[in-house]
Structure 1
Amino acid sequence: MWLFDSSWKDIAARKQADRAALIEAAKELLRSCDLALSDAYLRASAGEIIAHLSARTPGWTAERVTAAYISQAIDAHAATNCITEVLFQEALEAARALDKEYEATGTLKGPLHGVPVSFKDQYDVKGYDSSIGFSQWAYKPAKEDALLVAQVKAAGGIPICKTNVPQTMLSFECNNPLFGRTLNPWSPAHIPGGSSGGEAVLLACGGSALGFGSDIGGSLRIPTGLSGCFAIKCGEPRFSKTGAVSPNPGFETIRTIMGPMARSVADVKLACQTICGLPGGASEHLAPVPWRDVQLPKKLKIGYYTSDNVAENSPPVKRAVREAVAALTKAGHECVQFVPPNALEAMECFTALTSSDGYKELTSHLGPDPQDPSLFLVLLGPSIPWFIRSTAAWLLRTAVGDERFATLLAAARHKPVREFVHWTARRNELIDEFHAKVWAQHAFDFVLAPVQAMPALPHKATRTLIPLASATIYYNVLHYPAGVVPVTRVLPTDVWAEEAEDPGSVMLRTEMRKVYDPEAMKGLPVGVQLVGRPWEDERVVEAMGVLDAALGPRGFGPGTWTPAV
């Protein structure tokens, strides 16, 4: 019925025009704001903003800080197309109200008093759409704030905007028919990652002091890793998702984890300290445990790897891991290289579980919208007849010699409930096996791992390289807490040797080398993951701080972005 329907174009044009009008109106409002100290505001972390406002530092008010971040957000959006819903006028009004209240009472509203905050588009904000890029979901404003948004407001945070996502949010591209394509903040020719892509971009550009996204396969970690920010995916839900929309809300075998994204480890910790322990919605199962103070051993034992047997890691990705290891070793910690078990099997399990209904529910909301190219490989397996899929997998194994790609293709198909239950049991076995072979056998405090086998890809390259999300999906399947710390940037000298250095998919290696160009990718951020044991979210954030300090200043954090030329 939607084959020749172009109604989505009219909706997209209207939606984008509305957004542009709100941005222009905000520019007029900013003319009357004092932005003399904008540079100081933008170079301050969220925690430093609160400290200045609390101390009544001359020139520091919530209104002025919010105006500076709105101005920077407008510049960031002009360069990258990262914003979906514009809350600028309401943000300025909320900031003025905070200043007035603080002047009268001398008491901060809460631990996020005066901090400009942004949210991934899926979070409901009363009076605004949560379309997540579907034209059929546009112009259906939320009647209430998402619980997390309400909690941030109650803590004194000031929501300023919502940010862009990929179509269906099961991709690490960041493009949809309604709002268009978001660009990497360091190179407009490359992707920012996803699905919390717009959020990572806005933070990297300094257009927000704190952000919130979500993660089911790397959606907090991939964009922060590719855009140069920090994030934590808790092992179990500790941030509410009540009032956060999803194209597949009933899928819980791999949990969606809501969480913070920030420009510093300290701000990640601030968000966790503020929100964790607060009650969730009636149907949620959040741990009723406030963020705990933990002390790490002076000498940590950290396992690391540069190959996971799924995809060969590119030179800057390996270098990022080695630089992190060198910094930690110099700081007195023990780093031990090991082989991660069952990484391919974890990706196979994720593919099998998420494709069990043929992605029918996930794609049921597209309506007349054209399918984004980044979903090509995701949707390919279930869309072809079983005998073609089986033949293709056989050819991949026998003619191409790519057992890995064949395994993933074979897993992507419709399944009866009995087989779905089997794969759920296999997920639990993978958790047990990792525990025995890594945590128990090696007694590591943490695992240090790549975020992805490549730096940010050129736009549209995810069409054939979406399996690269396996590096983060690994820890979604295992339900482990994992944080991201930016380490370095791509250098023109990161030349990839012609001979394959690690085992990995032949198909992926071929596609990766087609688009890998260290000269074009020069300056793109490369981060690493720090992974902890179950229920050790606090320890992971502390370890992120240890690594960040060991690496030292390296051009990430507040005030480091300038628009790409």
Structure 2
Amino acid sequence: MTANTWQELVADKRRRQQAAIPPEWMLQSPPDQSVLDVRGIPEQSGILSQQELEITNTTDVDVLLHKLATAQWSSVEVTTAFYKRAIIAHQLVNCLTEIFVERALRRARELDEHLQKTGKVVGPLHGLPISLKDQICNKGLEATMGYATWIGKYSKEDAVIVQVLYAAGAVPFVMTNVPQTLLWSETYNLVYGRTLNPANRTLGAGGSSGGEGALVAMRGSPIGIGSDIGGSVRYPSTFNGLYGLRPSASRVPYSGCVNSTEGQDSAPSVLGPISGSISGVKAFMKAVIAQQPWLLDPLCIRKKWDEEAYALSEHGGGKQLCFGIIWDDGMVVPHPPILRALRVTKAALEAAGHTVIDWHPLKHKELFDVLADIWMSAALEDINTVLAETGEPRLTSMALENNAAVETGVPYSEGISAYQLWQLHKKRIALREEYLAAWRASANTTGTGRPVDAIIGPVAPYAAPPHGKATIAAYTMAWNTLNYPCCAFPVTTVDPVQDVVQPRDTFLGDHDKQNYAIYNPETFRNAPVGLQLAAQTLEDEAVIAMTEIVDQCLRDYKAAHGIV
């Protein structure tokens, strides 16, 4: 089709997307808008067989990989099951962009044949379907990144991460929705529309990897790959009750992906996994690193998986850890469900013999501001250059039509000089040095003889908010500025009985007052609630191990106290 306008491009793309869906996977009676929690509908649809339900309800990725490696389940069976569930999810929460069923099933058949003939798996992710955010290029497919302008621009090569996945034996099988430009904490664009939260469709799924978050929450994918420059893996993970890792920069290969502000590499975006299990996070990272991605991506760090670091050799072997905990960042006080999650996590860790101390959020506002200023140093020109090709409008809000939104996104400036950018780099270095010194000095208060092993805090000051109400806060961005790896993990869900509004007379500022005003426990009903754990640069293995410990402590504590 020859298209002259962005509207024609969108119409054509939507027709092609719909045509890619097998008719037999379509819901016969989709629920109306009054049905908010749609997570149970795949079970009721009649589209999935009992075996397919068993496969897709297996959230522990290690179990899936074992069954695939031992041929208890074939890759064709597993890929078909997740594909069906992904298509059902898409009809309910609008999470997919590229759908390429035959390509994925052809790959799955090749893997099954290899295992049958040789008795060996192709790699550590053998046969496992993996979903990809719509910026990760697959040869012959479109990666629009939410731009109507990029429809029809087919990728000439696979991104390095896709090459790595193939080498590890995985089956890339869908691409997922993002906000226009990626620079938002909700997911909406003019091409595919808005992605909804499966637990409550009046709420956002997070951004910018919101399609991944919603898909994995619907159990339509065992592992999804998102990206994170300021929280875009952790927001969707937390808002959907999942695990998600923001690795250290350049630990996972990024080469070959499209991006906003491409060429800006002083505050880089990173790729990271989103999964329904912490085992999925670990399996992804081990498998990717095992393929030596630095041989394909010149910016990727040459660092093998460190089993000693995973064993927490520098953290007392994981015994009697000391965690710092952030109750608020000095700018915005979290809503009651987030504060309850912090209290429960602290109690769970202390019950298991670990120590938890309060952590002062040192200059988190400055950490937020310097990162935002670096992003925006030329972002407006970058985005307008893309949009100028078709006249596609630049979105200025994620709000629903006729629905007032709070300030969202990062304000765009007209750009700054190279010299001014250098001053921001200098400021960021100074902040990093100061934070490292404070972390090191914490050895005086932990009681272990070591500095705090990790810091636990909110991902956002709210659970998944209503559409158009998601603000970007420093809770995630501070760690990006410092380049600290972080792992999001689920804790609970919003409970209107426990999480009542707490009267307040004073506020930390306008953003705090604004955040307080949007909270109503009924509005947020069913919304998942999670936190994040951060450690120092390149401690990715230790972050995964400590998140496993926190996760197990929470499971044990909740079981002992009858907490859901």
Same fold (TM over 0.5): yes
Q: Distance in 2 between matches of 1:413 and 1:18?
A: 37
Relative to structure 1, is the Cα distance of residues 132 and 539 closer, same or farther in structure 2, using a 3 angstrom cutoff?
Answer: same
Aligned to 1:14: 12
Shift of 1:363: 3.7
Equivalent of residue 350 in structure 1, options 347, 365, 371: 371
Shift of 1:283: 6.2
Q: For 1:208, give the aligned amino acid.
A: S
Q: For 1:448, give the aligned amino acid.
A: I
Relative to structure 1, is the Cα distance of residues 55 and 332 closer, same or farther in structure 2, using a 3 angstrom cutoff?
Answer: same
Aligned to 1:455: 463
Aligned to 1:254: 267
Aligned to 1:473: 477
Q: Distance in 2 between matches of 1:483 and 1:34?
A: 32
Aligned to 2:435: 434
Q: Distance in 1 between matches of 2:397 and 2:548?
A: 34
Contact 1:131 / 1:138 at 8 angstroms: preserved in 2?
Answer: yes
- 1:276 to 2:279 alignment: no
Q: Distance in 2 between matches of 1:334 and 1:380?
A: 36
Aligned length: 511
Shift of 1:202: 0.7
Q: What does residue range 121-132 of structure 1 map to in structure 2 within 5 Å?
A: 121-132=134-145
Shift of 1:413: 5.7
Contact 2:249 / 2:269 at 8 angstroms: preserved in 1?
Answer: no
Q: Distance in 2 between matches of 1:288 and 1:35?
A: 44
Shift of 1:323: 1.1
- 1:366 to 2:387 alignment: yes
Q: Distance in 2 between matches of 1:553 and 1:268?
A: 21
Q: For 1:439, give the aligned amino acid.
A: R
Q: Distance in 1 between matches of 2:440 and 2:331?
A: 21
Post-superposition, which runs of at least 4 consecutive aligned residues in structure 1 deviate over 4 A? 375-382
Q: For 2:311, give the aligned amino acid.
A: Q
Aligned to 1:332: 353
Relative to structure 1, is the Cα distance of residues 38 and 379 closer, same or farther in structure 2, using a 3 angstrom cutoff?
Answer: closer
SS in 2 for 1:118: strand
Aligned to 1:303: 324
Equivalent of residue 53 in structure 2, options 4, 27, 39: 39
1:469-506 deviation per Cα after TM superposition (whole angstroms, max 9, x unaligned): x21000000111111101111111312223157x5322
Q: Distance in 2 between matches of 1:379 and 1:459?
A: 13
Q: For 1:492, give the aligned amino acid.
A: P
Q: Distance in 1 between matches of 2:495 and 2:89?
A: 24
Q: For 1:288, give the aligned amino acid.
A: R
Q: Distance in 1 between matches of 2:261 and 2:269?
A: 10
Shift of 1:325: 1.1
Q: Distance in 2 between matches of 1:281 and 1:418?
A: 34
Q: What does residue range 56-205 of structure 1 map to in structure 2 within 5 Å?
A: 56-57=71-72, 60-205=73-218
Shift of 1:515: 2.6
Equivalent of residue 69 in structure 2, options 48, 54, 61: 54
Q: For 2:67, give the aligned amino acid.
A: H
1:220-271 deviation per Cα after TM superposition (whole angstroms, max 9, x unaligned): 1111011111111112311111110012111112111111111111110001
Contact 2:138 / 2:157 at 8 angstroms: preserved in 1?
Answer: yes
Q: Distance in 1 between matches of 2:157 and 2:501?
A: 51
SS in 2 for 1:540: helix
Shift of 1:282: 6.2
Aligned to 2:447: none
Q: For 1:416, give the aligned amino acid.
A: S
Aligned to 2:491: 487
Q: For 1:50, give the aligned amino acid.
A: L
Q: For 1:414, give the aligned amino acid.
A: G
Relative to structure 1, is the Cα distance of residues 554 and 76 closer, same or farther in structure 2, using a 3 angstrom cutoff?
Answer: farther
Q: Distance in 2 between matches of 1:168 and 1:381?
A: 13
Relative to structure 1, is the Cα distance of residues 6 and 139 closer, same or farther in structure 2, using a 3 angstrom cutoff?
Answer: closer
Contact 1:183 / 1:191 at 8 angstroms: preserved in 2?
Answer: yes
1:280-325 deviation per Cα after TM superposition (whole angstroms, max 9, x unaligned): 3766322212211132331101000111112121111111111111
- 1:210 to 2:223 alignment: yes
Relative to structure 1, is the Cα distance of residues 283 and 265 closer, same or farther in structure 2, using a 3 angstrom cutoff?
Answer: closer
Q: Distance in 2 between matches of 1:543 and 1:221?
A: 17
- 1:527 to 2:523 alignment: no
Q: For 2:422, give the aligned amino acid.
A: V
Q: For 2:71, give the aligned amino acid.
A: R
Aligned to 1:228: 241
Q: For 1:543, give the aligned amino acid.
A: M
Q: Distance in 2 between matches of 1:454 and 1:19?
A: 34
Q: Distance in 1 between matches of 2:356 and 2:296?
A: 43
Relative to structure 1, is the Cα distance of residues 359 and 64 closer, same or farther in structure 2, using a 3 angstrom cutoff?
Answer: same
1:102-147 deviation per Cα after TM superposition (whole angstroms, max 9, x unaligned): 1111111111111111000000011100111111111111111111
Shift of 1:553: 7.8
Contact 2:237 / 2:488 at 8 angstroms: preserved in 1?
Answer: yes
Q: For 2:393, give the aligned amino acid.
A: P
Aligned to 1:421: 422
Shift of 1:6: 9.0
Relative to structure 1, is the Cα distance of residues 510 and 15 closer, same or farther in structure 2, using a 3 angstrom cutoff?
Answer: same
Tell me: higher relative CO, structure 1 or 2? Use CA pairs within 8 A at least 6 residues apart: 1
Q: For 2:261, give the aligned amino acid.
A: N
Q: Distance in 1 between matches of 2:392 and 2:407?
A: 18
- The alignment's C-alpha RMSD in Å is 2.3
Relative to structure 1, is the Cα distance of residues 281 and 373 closer, same or farther in structure 2, using a 3 angstrom cutoff?
Answer: farther
Q: Distance in 2 between matches of 1:256 and 1:537?
A: 16
Moved more, 92-101 or 159-168: 92-101
Contact 1:117 / 1:209 at 8 angstroms: preserved in 2?
Answer: yes
Shift of 1:334: 0.4
- Segments of 5+ residues of structure 2 without an aligned counterpart are 27-46, 313-317, 399-405, 444-450, 559-564
**Could you tell me the percent identity over the aligned residues?**
31
> Normalising to structure 1: TM-score of the pair?
0.86
Shift of 1:554: 11
> Normalising to structure 2: TM-score of the pair?
0.86
Relative to structure 1, is the Cα distance of residues 94 and 205 closer, same or farther in structure 2, using a 3 angstrom cutoff?
Answer: same
Q: For 2:512, give the aligned amino acid.
A: R
Aligned to 2:453: 445
Q: Distance in 2 between matches of 1:98 and 1:175?
A: 35
Moved more, 512-521 or 231-240: 512-521
Aligned to 1:544: 547
Contact 1:305 / 1:337 at 8 angstroms: preserved in 2?
Answer: yes
Contact 1:147 / 1:281 at 8 angstroms: preserved in 2?
Answer: no
